[in-house]
Structure 1
Amino acid sequence: FDEPTQDYFLNFVTKTLTHHEQQILETRVTINEIFRAIKDMNTNKSPGIDGIPIEFYLKYWDIIKIELYEIFLYIIDGLVPSENQRTAVLTLIPKEGDLNLLKTWRPVSLICCDIKIIAKILAKRIGPLLYSLLSENQHCILGKSIIDCNTKMRDIMFYTSKNNMTGAIINVDWEKAFDRVNWNFLFKIFKKMKFPDFVITWIKTLYTDVQSLVLINGHCSKKLMSIEGSGKDVLCLCFSLLFSKTHCTWL
């Protein structure tokens, strides 16, 4: 989007955080909050480039918690993470189709667990607040169900048929949706919704100067240019906010 287009879409941002919700987001991260995020993460998953799985943090929590807490505070406050923490290992998973075509391989980002924990903490803070910020017709967050989406579609089709009305159904399939996030526009949305600067800095820290390398047949490529879609928990929440402020002007 160019600047005039971004400003046009920003006019549709009418829902904002309350003062109480802002205070929730600005509350200092605690050691217990970090541990809850770790316990909520799935185990038996491939680690990032440092080779440290989430099971390590669970097993040795009592030993590492103080040092880990201090490191996390530095990163959350805007300190640039280390090069390893900013590096995602891309491994390719085959999809159905001609495996000679690159598009039939799905890239999966293997990210260091410490950065995933920081993102998890932020996602657990933002997630509950999206209920009041998103359209009532969006069902991609906790507290809502995709079944409601199907029910609404059924009711709309019944209503239009009964009243002899014309209409159209649009099915949008986003290709590489997360990779297409316009971060400048997204941060403007956060600002318009009155997200604290502290939270915006937190997100920028997670998605600034991210590097990647590709793992093929057990060998890693050289590090590639920065990527902006790395599959962290908070990214899908960000995309939901971005989508909510653009889809309403399509028709």
Structure 2
Amino acid sequence: RNQCQEAPSAEENPGNLIAWWPGFKRRLTSLAHQLSKVAQQRRQQPSPHTQEARLEVQQAQQALDATPHSPQLLQQLVDAQASLGRMHIEDNLRAAYKARIHWLHAGERPGPALTTFLQTPSQDQQAAPVALQARSGRLVTNPAQLPQVVADFWAEVCRAPDFTTPEDRQSVLTQLAAANIRLPEEADEVVGAPTITVAELGFALKKSQPGKAPGWDGIPTDLYRKFWPEIGNTMAALFTAIVKTGQVPTGFLDGIIKVLYKKGDPKQPGNYRPLTLLCSDYRLLAKVLANRLGPVLGRIISPEQSAFLPKRLIGASVLFLHHLPHLLRKLNRQGLLAFLDFAKAYDTVDRNFLLGAMEAMGVGPQLCRWTRLLLSNTRARAMVNGFKSRLVKMEAGVQQGCPLAPLLYLFVGQALFCWLKSQELGLRLLP
């Protein structure tokens, strides 16, 4: 509380607050480690009633040892042990109740995490990488070197893209602009507003799931939630200062890459799905922007796109595909359905193209400024089996693990959709 009160004023010099924040987080990280140890000790510590019952068992055992053939003392020991058993059951029920509260708060959401929990994974899926093939072709088995192999692989994937030409990119953007689907000016003023309010951050924090893995700083959102009355105003001033100055605190954009095995040869780094663990303060800022953008994005994203937007369900697309053959038969028409999957889709997004697509769809300079800030000079280090790599630059892509990333990717998908329509690819089924 005292440290937040001593924070530099963002009104006088926003840069001082930005420079002050990393040191404050280091002190907060130390506090997080201390609280984690205390919480672990408390979880392992039995309740006072259980401690009393355990003491009664010890006293009854000592009394019985002194008088081994006393039926009365033997019965006292049996009763004390039964009481201790009941106390253990109550402790377990109390822990289960707390877990249930967490479950009700986080909610049951279908996804890879729930699937992994319900299914028994194979041996390959359970094991962390023990050997990986480096870019040179050398097989690396040293545990301390494995993270660098992962980091180098994803840094290469996230290089500035050179597999398209400027002419091709401009052709797609031209068709996107020709579609004349633009974000209303009044909506853009709200979405890209440079001031981040405490209310917005508090709502984002409330909607954040507890127990999420923190980024490199080790600070979970639960800690911010605990001290929110003291931290909220400072964090809101910090984020407003970031867009005002165009600067971010040291390490603010850095992430930790952890990989999850998908399929194929486990020695190939590309057969693992990367998950970037970003710091909680970054995620809160990105979540505020996502909360602003999500409700209005449905106005400019075509209804064919059913993912990531409020009130749109992917089940609608599935249902459409089930009905499509019957509709074609009724219209006496034929068609070919192509299922395409973009390899490393999030990680290979051309950031300049993304910003161009946003501008073509009427997104104003303020939201583009926010986006450019969050996607500039991004770095990450990989972690495998507890070992970390060096920091590497990520020049392309939207970061998996960023709350804003799915919505930003919709601009890329919309650009592709408009270009496909301009090429008259596909079937028009209804007028």
Give the TM interval when normalised to the shorter protein: over 0.9
Aligned partner of 2:398 in structure 1 is: 229
Residue 107 of structure 1: SS of its match in structure 2?
Answer: strand
Aligned partner of 2:316 in structure 1 is: 148
Instruction: Find out whether 1:12 has 2:176 as its counterpart.
Output: yes
Aligned residues: 251
The answer on whether the counterparts of 2:196 and 2:237 sit within 8 Å (CA) in structure 1 is no
The answer on whether the counterparts of 1:43 and 1:55 sit within 8 Å (CA) in structure 2 is yes
Runs of at least 4 residues off by over 4 Å: none
Q: 1:82 to 1:215 in 2, by over 3 A?
A: same
Q: 1:78 to 1:203 in 2, by over 3 A?
A: farther
Aligned partner of 2:387 in structure 1 is: 219
Residue 12 of structure 1: SS of its match in structure 2?
Answer: helix
* Structure 1 stretch displaced more, 129-138 or 224-233: 224-233
In structure 1, what residue type is equivalent to 2:372? Answer: K
The whole-number CA distance in structure 1 between the counterparts of 2:317 and 2:343 is 21
Structure 1 residue 94, shift from structure 2 partner: 2.1
Aligned partner of 1:184 in structure 2 is: 352
In structure 1, what residue type is equivalent to 2:405? Answer: L
Instruction: Find out whether 1:108 has 2:271 as its counterpart.
Output: no
The answer on whether the counterparts of 1:22 and 1:196 sit within 8 Å (CA) in structure 2 is yes
The whole-number CA distance in structure 1 between the counterparts of 2:336 and 2:389 is 46
Aligned partner of 1:240 in structure 2 is: 410
The whole-number CA distance in structure 1 between the counterparts of 2:241 and 2:226 is 24
The whole-number CA distance in structure 1 between the counterparts of 2:349 and 2:183 is 22
Alignment of 1:158-197 (within 5 A): 158-197=326-365
In structure 2, what residue type is equivalent to 1:122? Answer: L
> Deviations along 1:156-186, whole A, 9 cap, x unmatched?
2212123332201111112211112111111
Residue 316 of structure 2: SS of its match in structure 1?
Answer: helix
Aligned partner of 1:89 in structure 2 is: 256
* Structure 1 stretch displaced more, 219-228 or 113-122: 219-228
Residue 257 of structure 2: SS of its match in structure 1?
Answer: strand
Q: TM-score, normalised by structure 1?
A: 0.93
In structure 2, what residue type is equivalent to 1:229? Answer: V
Structure 1 residue 78, shift from structure 2 partner: 4.9
Instruction: Find out whether 1:75 has 2:264 as its counterpart.
Output: no
Structure 1 residue 235, shift from structure 2 partner: 1.2
Greater relative CO, 1 or 2 (CA 8 Å, sep 6+): 1
The answer on whether the counterparts of 1:90 and 1:212 sit within 8 Å (CA) in structure 2 is yes
Q: 1:71 to 1:44 in 2, by over 3 A?
A: same
- One of 17, 25, 42 as aligned partner of 2:209: 42
Q: Could you say what the CA RMSD is over the residues aligned between the two structures, in angstroms?
A: 1.7
The whole-number CA distance in structure 2 between the counterparts of 1:130 and 1:87 is 27
In structure 2, what residue type is equivalent to 1:171? Answer: F
Q: Which runs of 5+ in 2 are unaligned?
A: 1-163, 426-431
- One of 186, 190, 193 as aligned partner of 1:24: 190
Residue 77 of structure 1: SS of its match in structure 2?
Answer: helix
The whole-number CA distance in structure 2 between the counterparts of 1:2 and 1:77 is 34
Q: Greater helix percent: which structure?
A: 2
The whole-number CA distance in structure 2 between the counterparts of 1:19 and 1:147 is 32
Structure 1 residue 80, shift from structure 2 partner: 2.5
In structure 1, what residue type is equivalent to 2:398? Answer: G
The whole-number CA distance in structure 2 between the counterparts of 1:42 and 1:69 is 20
Q: Which runs of 5+ in 1 are unaligned?
A: none
The answer on whether the counterparts of 2:214 and 2:277 sit within 8 Å (CA) in structure 1 is yes
Instruction: Indicate the percent of aligned positions where both proteins have the same amino acid.
Output: 23
Structure 1 residue 82, shift from structure 2 partner: 2.6
The whole-number CA distance in structure 2 between the counterparts of 1:112 and 1:181 is 22
The whole-number CA distance in structure 2 between the counterparts of 1:192 and 1:163 is 36
The whole-number CA distance in structure 1 between the counterparts of 2:339 and 2:418 is 14
Q: Which of 1 and 2 has greater Rg?
A: 2
